[in-house]
Amino acid sequence: MKNNGTLIAFLAYVLWGVLPLYWHGLKQLPASEILAHRIVWSLVFMAGVLFVTRRWNWLGEVVRRPKDHLRFVATALILAVNYGVYLWANNSGHLVEASLGYFINPLVNVVLGMVFLKERLRPAQAVAVLIALVGVAYLTVDYGRVPWIALTLALTFGTYGLLRKTAKLGSIEGLTLEMILLFIPSLVYLLVIGAQGAGAFGRSDTGTTLLILGAGAATAVPMLMFTFGARRVTMITLGILQYIAPTLQFLIGVYAFAEPFDQTRLIGFAVIWLALAIYWIEGLAIYRRRNKTQVEAV
């Protein structure tokens, strides 16, 4: 079962890594329209999953005690911002910078834990964060601007994880509730642009329509696979697997989408990769030391 969990989690990250190719097929649409379709069809897909698995009981609790789930309003909005920025970056020639956001996300999580959960930085973690900041500063000079795409994606994804960490609903139920909260404004937006004759659904070629219809599955399937795998593997395994997605995104951006990536930009990325290497080597060492201590105690 553990091996199955590793394989499923691996495939989830691979799917997240190659999804830029899927969204690129809709690049003729505005990012806001793709986002709205992604939300609407995700809810349809998740409703189907819940119907098949008969997991509807939690909805009664949400209706009876709405105040207990107010944080999902925040997570839904944060998720919408994350999805929207990512879709815009993917289809406007900034996928490499978007991949940077998910590379630095673990270090952002460390900082968020320190600020909001009062966690203490270990020396190696502090060094990794400082080196990453140097890399971001270097890229700021290289880009001629703050790499806002990468920072927005890292901060929104990190904050989303922080808020969901203590949420009362599981991953599947929580994602469904977030899609419910975003459904009405998304549907209204699609109806408005449709009435104006600007919407793509039903007016485009068959391939585009099918891609729109599949947006829900493209969003939900990797999440469901990740949820299944994450419960069956160690955190250290997930820590290694999580770099599959941004690595594939980076490679797609450079080689498939031909985004600029010269030697100067490589230096900035290399500095951040060095920070990540320090972070994970230190984390792996602590994990092994704790395991050894537990074995000796037994």
CA gap 280, 62 in Å, rounded: 38
CB-CB neighbours of 1 under 10 Å: 6
pLDDT in tens, 15-55: 999 999 999 999 999 999 999 999 999 999 999 989 898 88
Q: Which of 290, 263, 238 is closest to 106 using CA atoms?
A: 238
Average of per-residue pLDDT values in the chain: 89
Whether 282 has a pLDDT exceeding 60, the answer reads: yes
Mean pLDDT is lowest, of 72-86, 99-113, 229-243, 260-274, for: 229-243
User: Above 60 in pLDDT, residue 295?
Assistant: no
* Tens-place pLDDT, residues 56-94: 889 888 888 888 788 899 999 999 999 999 999 999 999
- Degrees, nearest 5: CA angle 26-96-82: 60
Q: pLDDT tier at 214 (50, 70, 90 boundaries)?
A: very high
- Determine the Cα–Cα distance for residues 46 and 56; give it in Å rounded to an integer: 11
Q: What is the DSSP letter of 205?
A: -
Contact 95, 267 (CB under 8 A): no
Closest CA relative to residue 60, chosen from 75, 50, 48: 50
pLDDT of 182 higher than 80:
yes
Separation between Cα atoms, residue 90 and residue 19, nearest integer Å: 10
| CA dihedral angle for residue 260, residue 265, residue 271, residue 276, rounded to 10 degrees | -20
pLDDT value at residue 297: 57
What is the residue-wise DSSP string for 48-74? HHHHHHT--HHHHHHHH-GGGGTHHHH
